[in-house]
Structure 1
Amino acid sequence: MTQVTRFTGDAKPYGGGDPYADYRSAEIPFADLVDLVDLADRRLGAGVVAANDEFFAERENLLIPEPAHFDPEHFGHKGKIMDGWETRRRRGTGAGTPHPADEDHDWALIRLGAPGVIRGIIVDTAHFRGNYPQAVSIEATVAPLSASPEELLADGVEWTELVPRTAIGGHAANAFEIAVERRFTHLRLNQHPDGGIARLRVYGDVAPDPEWLAALGTFDLVALENGGAVEDASDRFYSPPTNTILPGRSRKMDDGWETRRRRDKGNDWVRYRLTEQAEIRAVEIDTGYLKGNSAGWAALYGQDQSAGSEEWFEILPRTRLQPDTVHRFLVDAPAATHVRIDIFPDGGISRLRLHGSLTAVGAKRLAERSAQL
């Protein structure tokens, strides 16, 4: 583990105005990499399955995709209502020992939305200025995605330490680089001894289950949960291209990918990496909720890097798109490891689905990689 940001101590009390004006953050090398995904994204199916205490604020807030909100006037019967996970103050055993013991701590169990190799973690204490934990530690394990809290906490479960007990700061993005080349499904977030954390972000590479994909046969080859990823894009001005391979349909305009307005004669594009080498048979391009700003036309190209080729071949010719519409196409194209969608001239799409099957070579390589994790 490498602690990327080293914020310690309290932040100043809130003095009015923009609550993020004095938020402590720094450049984080892994947070903005487009080929990494937040494995703890609620939209992928992640969840906080249990916590030992959530007296002031619910554990589920940890995984809300949006930044933490602060309302200085929001109070309830238990006190200040915070947008995060906050536990009560721990106490010692009596008047002679009023302070908690060194080993006392609170914990939360997190199920990742997709199993994967973790590259970096952000423990965000936004708006927790004097009520953040003194330190945190994080462990990880592998279990069925449906494992219960009792099963995860049972004797004999092997937990791997990702972040040892480390001091953090309040109202700050506390970031850690992780160098453990293993596939994990669940985390245990510990705060020592108590306090509040606004958000948890777990950046990494999805590592899908080869047996599950083999049983499916045909699946979405570019979906995040199946190991697809965005590698690059021409523009991320209004919303990130990774949105296009999230599960489900878009629910609002910024839940897809939208570019700024072009004033030249070029076009925008996104390059994707598929689960592995595969044959694509059906394509869906969805412009849901993009009405006056959807792409006008789209074309799709493939590339097979496993064959050492850098040439792009056509999968779908330039085709007119309608606003707020699901477009479906049957295609017949060579095997590919990468796909690029070009949109003309600009605008956006909400989702891209590439249905097909892994080749024998692709399935073999995926199984070999999985066995090494």
Structure 2
Amino acid sequence: MSHDFTDLPDVASRALGAGVVHVNDDLFAAAENLVTPGRPVHDPLAFGPRGKVYDGWETRRRRTPGHDLAIVRLGVRAEVRGVVVDTSYFVGNYPPRVGVAGVDLGGYPGVDELLGASWRPLVPESDVRGDSLNAFAVEGSPTCTHVMLTLHPDGGVARLRVHGRPAPDPTLLTGTVDVAALESGGDVVDCSDDFYSSARNLLMPGRARTTGEGWENARRRDAGNDHVTVRLAGPATVRRLVVDSSCFLGNAPAEVQVRGCVGTPERDRTDGWTTLLPRTAVQPDTRHVLPVDASAAGTPVDHVRLDVYPDGGLARFRVLGELC
């Protein structure tokens, strides 16, 4: 099943800082599993004191009217385009129907405030299949900080994926910030190759713990080079760059270059770009903090292109500057 919205970031992933802030019941399996990155796993022989062990959220069998619910704080405020309710490995115990609602609340609301908020339906109560990826497009791309998943009447769900475009509160983006970060509203718009791991990992929060949490392309066997283009949170004056090859030892690039432009860039055009960092040698397993080239000082850009020569992996890429 293919849906355009699944190409957008999953803003309900713990990798982006999402978390479960309230659940009415998770007797059999913890609701926190809903936001775990990666596909769920399953051991058919794993049983615990409360029954079968599942990598997901599972409530008890409901004997009274009503439904079960979990509230997820998104990793970043976002325009929600679609939702995937993943019932992998839940066969005789998945919910027949689910619903998803969203709310946009500033600050850090507590459970009582969330439960009393005016929630907007994102996915009306809908039938789902067991052991399946149940995908639902969301009309109108509403901006949300939290989502509520409801199970009708009960059951188990492995993962909840909420795909959308980050839209952080602009008042939180003053001063020098990472204008390329997903949590600031940046995103990858073009990549030559991400055979081993996604280029979007470059923009994730925190430090990568393994090469799998960074960007790694295939080994290049021609005369070209690999590259990634990032749409920034908005037009910005870039002050410095962080090119982090941590964890990449025999598979780091030999050199990198960073350029910027205004407007939608064309992959193979070389004109219209401002050089932010000339072609520069980099070291394996090293976090490089690099100044912007003096010739580009004060020049606003809203896209940047990172070229690696000839290929190789990086853990993180930071573009530190001020929004114009």
TM bucket, shorter chain: over 0.9
Give the one of 100, 108, 128 matched to 1:138.
100
Give the one of 103, 114, 119 matched to 1:152.
114
Is residue 145–residue 185 contact of structure 1 (8 Å, CA) maintained in 2?
no
Give 1:113's aligned amino acid: G
Residues of 2 paired with 1:111 and 1:322: CA distance?
38
Are 1:336 and 2:301 matched, yes or no? Answer: yes
Report the equivalent of 1:271: 229
Specify whether residues 283 and 117 from structure 1 end up closer, same or farther in structure 2 by C-alpha distance, changes over 3 A only: same
Residues of 1 paired with 2:147 and 2:119: CA distance?
9
Q: CA deviation at 1:91?
A: 1.4
Residues of 2 paired with 1:147 and 1:84: CA distance?
25
Report the equivalent of 2:167: 207
Residues of 2 paired with 1:145 and 1:43: CA distance?
20
Give the one of 213, 217, 229 matched to 1:259.
217
Q: CA deviation at 1:227?
A: 0.6
Residues of 1 paired with 2:106 and 2:48: CA distance?
37
Is residue 277–residue 306 contact of structure 1 (8 Å, CA) maintained in 2?
no
Give 1:303's aligned amino acid: C
Q: CA deviation at 1:266?
A: 0.6
Is residue 223–residue 353 contact of structure 1 (8 Å, CA) maintained in 2?
yes
Give 2:312's aligned amino acid: G
What is the SS of the residue equivalent to 1:243? helix
**Residue segments in structure 2 that go unaligned for 5+ positions in a row:** none
What is the SS of the residue equivalent to 2:227? strand
What is the SS of the residue equivalent to 2:5? coil
TM-score of the pair, normalised by structure 2: 0.95
Are 1:351 and 2:316 matched, yes or no? Answer: yes
Report the equivalent of 2:123: 163
Give 1:193's aligned amino acid: P
Residues of 1 paired with 2:306 and 2:83: CA distance?
30
Write out aligned runs for 1:5-154 (5 A). 26-31=1-6, 33=7, 36-92=8-64, 101=65, 104-154=66-116
Q: CA deviation at 1:180?
A: 2.2
Q: CA deviation at 1:249?
A: 0.8
Report the equivalent of 2:250: 292
Q: CA deviation at 1:145?
A: 4.7
Q: Which moved more, 1:329-338 or 1:261-270?
A: 329-338
How many residue pairs are counted as aligned between the two chains?
317
Alignment deviations for residues 252-285 of structure 1 (CA, whole Å, 9 cap, x no partner): 1111000000111110000000110010011110
What is the SS of the residue equivalent to 1:244? helix
Alignment deviations for residues 277-328 of structure 1 (CA, whole Å, 9 cap, x no partner): 0100111100010111011110001001189x97112111111110000111
Residues of 2 paired with 1:30 and 1:68: CA distance?
21
Q: Which moved more, 1:348-357 or 1:140-149?
A: 140-149
What is the SS of the residue equivalent to 2:94? coil
Write out aligned runs for 1:230-249 (5 A). 230-249=188-207
Report the equivalent of 1:326: 287
Residues of 2 paired with 1:321 and 1:330: CA distance?
14
What is the SS of the residue equivalent to 1:37? coil
Residues of 2 paired with 1:235 and 1:352: CA distance?
16
Report the equivalent of 1:366: none
Specify whether residues 264 and 306 from structure 1 end up closer, same or farther in structure 2 by C-alpha distance, changes over 3 A only: closer
Residues of 1 paired with 2:132 and 2:61: CA distance?
21
- RMSD over aligned Cα, in angstroms? 1.6
Q: CA deviation at 1:330?
A: 1.1
Q: CA deviation at 1:41?
A: 1.3
**Structure 1 residue ranges (4+ consecutive) displaced by more than 3 angstroms after TM superposition:** none
Residues of 2 paired with 1:183 and 1:168: CA distance?
25
Q: CA deviation at 1:211?
A: 1.2
Give 2:304's aligned amino acid: V
State which structure, 1 or 2, has the greater radius of gyration over its C-alpha atoms: 1
Report the equivalent of 2:148: 188
Give 2:176's aligned amino acid: T
Give 1:323's aligned amino acid: P
What is the SS of the residue equivalent to 1:300? strand
Is residue 264–residue 303 contact of structure 2 (8 Å, CA) maintained in 1?
no
Give 1:182's aligned amino acid: P
Q: CA deviation at 1:30?
A: 2.1
Percent identity, aligned pairs only, is 46
**Residue segments in structure 1 that go unaligned for 5+ positions in a row:** 1-25, 93-100, 360-373
